[in-house]
Structure 1
């Protein structure tokens, strides 16, 4: 008799892209769902303007991800402006033209840095201010288009977002393009993006005042006129859930991903995240590959291997919400800076838990800096709270980070990385079995006697069910086995792990991350 396991429901494509937009919000210094609200405003405005369905679809996705390139130039932004996230946040309240914008730039050069450093940066910028900013914008636009293509949004969206920094009056960057040469989809997206922030900050009247003040300058007069004609109906109501509202009007809203499609998209998002810090390029791919291989070595169930691989790609999404001024610092961090660093796994969780079908991935990803002895962050979880996938990912992150350079140290040699992991396992921070599996995956085979080495996959699964309090009869029913067969498995497992009763077996399962096995 075969019992069919319940089919996993994978997320819809737009749900994953909506999660990506929340990550983009972090890099802009905006509240979660800013880009989702902007996409709703833009789509409603596009309909009011009479754009056809294809144009409306492009408006939606161009607005949702128009700032996808903002993290890719974060290191350069931080070099000029210090806190890249703060300057992006504050730039929403300034018209990007003329003396007010020049004053804004000067006031934010080297933000948070010492006065001598700020003076040095100012001198560098003023040698070729427009050229320096144009190069930065050009890099942003190229990155944004490439990333939009990488995640499969199509040529129309790619084309539109290359005009993100252009102005209707021709005073924008990088090409100084003007008027209708700017795609209508971007002209709509630009106004919606700014209007969302001003309406949230100053109310509808504030958004209207901003739009009118920039009419014919930043914004297309026709788009502004359509916007100010009954503007209140363009904004989501206070009672609306922006996530649900934006997903309901999305193009191909019902397109559900299959496993290969989900993997392709999550891998692309991992690459997107790594661009935040030049020294982290390839980090998420490397962590994922190590974690997946180690999980297979340890006999983890296929569904947990898939979740571990995906968590490897996505574990650092929250990094986008921390300024490169901190990530790029070569010296010691202040207490406040360290607190921001400690928050990035929480931000990862905040992004991923909104995406249906990725709850297991989120659970694993958010614990990549937790330690078995409770000394990790952000929550200080300890052994019983950390399953085997979480332990594997923590070991994989530790190894991969060691062999990569950081602003405060050179890349470690492989021997140094091995020693680092073994020391942490010896101190009780990392799971020794998972460290060994990660090192084996990285090509550093080790041999060490372990009770759990002798457990078969079936025995590991049964031990997990025992730890959850299931009786032999319950386990037999769940696994479609006879009760006698289960009893024999349990007795052999007890002998192998040195347990004399169910309590001892349960404690062993908790200590070794097997309590979630089935």
Structure 2
């Protein structure tokens, strides 16, 4: 008989997700946890209503959840998306200092000529470019929060993450009390935690006072300054996790159905990091769900595998898009960063007792039977049947998706590649056979939803993969105007307004990676 596991709580999953967000921000894997504790204490000192206190906590944990959705755009403008986010905590996003910050960080890591060209493009309309970028971020963050089951007040607060008390924020220029109080608290907590960690309580107080009435609400600043030392007395390390969960408003274990929905949403969130990966984790989950019974696995094992598949790539958030988007061979340093992402994924999940089995599978999803995999180089004797099946499913799904350095393979080619790798002793032959049986048994064509035409479905998939109108025009031999019209009609039919909305729609309706569209 299997061992009954305690179901995770929503608070535990949000806390784990916040650690993944920390990776994408270039912050220690406790930053958002400690910020949420500070926000909770601030909300209590401000005597906010119970719902607002809960909202301030949740909004702080998740205020940067949109950072995956705009990583590709950040990388386009700034090179290393993680480095620029980390550095941005130390500058007020207004005035000449911010202009100097932008100039100093444009196209980092690229040749001088490329940096100059990108800088010239940005400075033509720097505020307009940023407004477009942050508008997409905020819409995406709100949508992702909704998928995680967050209340509407929290969704609205997260959408205001880049607004400023003085009205000079983006994308909507909200001012003062028009910014939800939950976000006014979250903004100060998020930034103060970084300054306190780097420079101590005095540095955090000086930052808050300097930005009082500009970036931050004066009332929130005054409440913080009055008891800064006490408010910032927050544990580090494992104790930060405990302190954050002690403050959490939702301590109830999730039902199986809600847990599955939440894990799928976290996987979708991770995949948005790279447009060409959109739908990847959900596709792997579908594969192992169907292939596990072929290998004779019990229903309990299948459930664990499916959940691990949804979560297997959360560690990707800790690697810059400057690496993931390279069109040529990776250097030794880049490879070291890539090889770390399964470990980082396991680290994100390590604190959630109810997901211990899934965390172990996440850490091993790039290991190989001959010991050539990563991050640990574990060989056959250390890999379970579940490890082997997940590895084969990831390899198949990856092969059928485009990458910056190659086009996608058709399913028969992808299966052939897996069989070759099995013959070389890298992948398990039984796992590969189960994947092949599953893929060959699937229907090749399904009806299109919402009145989409085959051409619109084709364009939708390309948009979801991060292709520009110009790229799509070249791929499909159409004019850019025709593509633009198709995109507008498609967005209207499916009720979305940006690429992330289109991507989530494509994920929900099984478009990405589906044959026969």
| TM-score, structure 2 as length reference | 0.84
Who is 2:139 aligned against? 142
CA distance in 2, matches of 1:387, 1:82: 39
Could you tell me whether the CA contact under 8 Å between 2:235 and 2:243 is conserved in 1? no
Deviation at 1:129, TM superposition (A): 1.1
Counterpart contact for 1:72–1:276, Cα < 8 Å: yes
The 3 A distance-change label for structure 1 pair 6 and 403 is closer
Corresponding residue for residue 107 of structure 1: 104
Q: CA deviation at 1:237?
A: 3.6
Bigger radius of gyration among the two:
1
Verify: 1:424 aligned to 2:424, yes or no. Answer: no
Q: Distance in 1 between matches of 2:31 and 2:344?
A: 15
Corresponding position of 1:346: 343
Query: Could you say which residue in structure 1 is the equivalent of 2:395?
Result: 398
8 Å CA contact 1:236, 1:242 repeated in 2: no
Does the 8 Å CA contact 2:39/2:57 hold for their aligned counterparts? yes
- Encode CA deviations 1:310-339: one digit per residue, 9 max, x unaligned: 111000000011001111111111110111
In the other structure, the counterpart of 1:96 is 93
Do residues 242 (structure 1) and 240 (structure 2) align?
yes
- CA shift in 2, pair 1:304/1:236, >3 Å: farther
User: Alpha-carbon deviations, 1:34-84, whole Å to 9, x = none?
Assistant: 101000001100111110101101001000100000111000000000000
- Name structure 2 gaps, 5 residues minimum: 443-517
Instruction: Tell me the distance in 2 between the aligned counterparts of 1:21 and 1:285.
Output: 21
Structure 1 range deviating more: 237-246 or 434-443: 237-246
Unaligned stretches of 5+ in structure 1?
446-518
Give the Cα separation in 2 of the matches to 1:115 and 1:210.
Answer: 33
SS where residue 65 of structure 2 aligns? coil
The answer (yes or no) to whether the contact 1:284–1:314 under 8 Å persists in 2 is: yes
CA apart distance, 1:236: 3.6
Verify: 1:307 aligned to 2:304, yes or no: yes
1:218 alignment counterpart: 215
Q: Secondary structure at the match of 1:96?
A: coil
Q: Give runs of aligned pairs for residues 300-379 of structure 1, distance below 5 A.
A: 300-379=297-376
Conservation of the 8 A alpha-carbon contact between 2:8 and 2:253: yes
The aligned length equals 441
CA distance in 2, matches of 1:91, 1:249: 28
| 1:291 alignment partner, one of 283, 288, 291 | 288
Counterparts of 2:60 and 2:394, CA distance in 1: 33
Residue among 248, 254, 259 paired with 1:262: 259
Bigger shift: 119-128 or 387-396?
119-128
What CA deviation, in whole Å up to 9, does each residue of 1:187-224 have, x standing for no partner?
11000000000000000001000000101110111111
Residues 1:39 and 2:36 aligned together: yes
Contact 1:421 1:435 in 2 (8 A): yes
1:203 aligns to 2:197 (yes or no) = no
Map of 1:16 onto structure 2: 13
Are 2:150 and 1:153 equivalent residues in the alignment?
yes
In the alignment, the residues of structure 2 paired with residue 441 and residue 273 of structure 1 have an alpha-carbon distance, to the nearest angstrom, of: 25
* Equivalent residues of 1:195, 1:211 under 8 A apart: yes
Per the TM alignment, residue 444 of structure 1 is displaced from its structure 2 partner at its CA by 6.3
TM-score, normalised to structure 1, is: 0.84
1:268-311 per-position Cα deviation (integer Å, ceiling 9, x unaligned): 10111111110011100111111121111111122211111011
Shift of the alpha carbon at 1:5? 5.5
C-alpha deviations, 1:143-164, integer Å up to 9, x for none?
0000000110110100011110
Q: Tell me how far 1:8 sits from its aligned partner.
A: 2.3
Q: Could you tell me how far 1:238 is from its partner in structure 2? A: 4.1
Q: Kindly tell me: are residues 94 and 412 of structure 1, through their superposed partners in 2, closer, same or farther at Cα, counting changes over 3 Å?
A: same
Residues 119-178 of structure 1 show CA distances to partners (whole Å, capped at 9, x for unaligned) of: 110111112111111000000000000000011011010001111001111111001111
**Residue by residue, what CA displacement relative to the aligned partner does 1:84-142 show, whole Å, maximum 9, x if unpaired?**
00000000011111000100011000011110110110111112111111000000000
Contact 1:285 1:313 in 2 (8 A): yes
Do the aligned residues in 1 keep the contact of 2:75 with 2:322 (CA within 8 Å)? yes
Alpha-carbon distance in structure 2 between the residues aligned to 1:5 and 1:105: 55
Answer whether contact 2:282 2:309 (CA < 8 A) is retained: yes
Q: 2-side partners of 1:323 and 1:86: how far apart?
A: 8
Cα distance in structure 2, aligned partners of 1:379 and 1:215: 48
* Residues 43-58 of structure 1 mapped to structure 2, 5 A cutoff: 43-58=40-55
Contact kept, 8 Å, 2:9 with 2:250, in 1: the verdict is no
Q: CA deviation at 1:7?
A: 2.7
The alignment partner of 1:363 has SS state of helix
Which of these residues, 71, 74, 93, is aligned with residue 74 of structure 1?
71
Is the CA contact (8 Å cut-off) linking 1:370 and 1:380 kept in structure 2? yes
3-state DSSP of counterpart to 2:422: helix
Q: Superposition pairs for residues 184-203 of structure 1, below 5 Å?
A: 184-203=181-200
Deviation at 1:6, TM superposition (A): 4.5
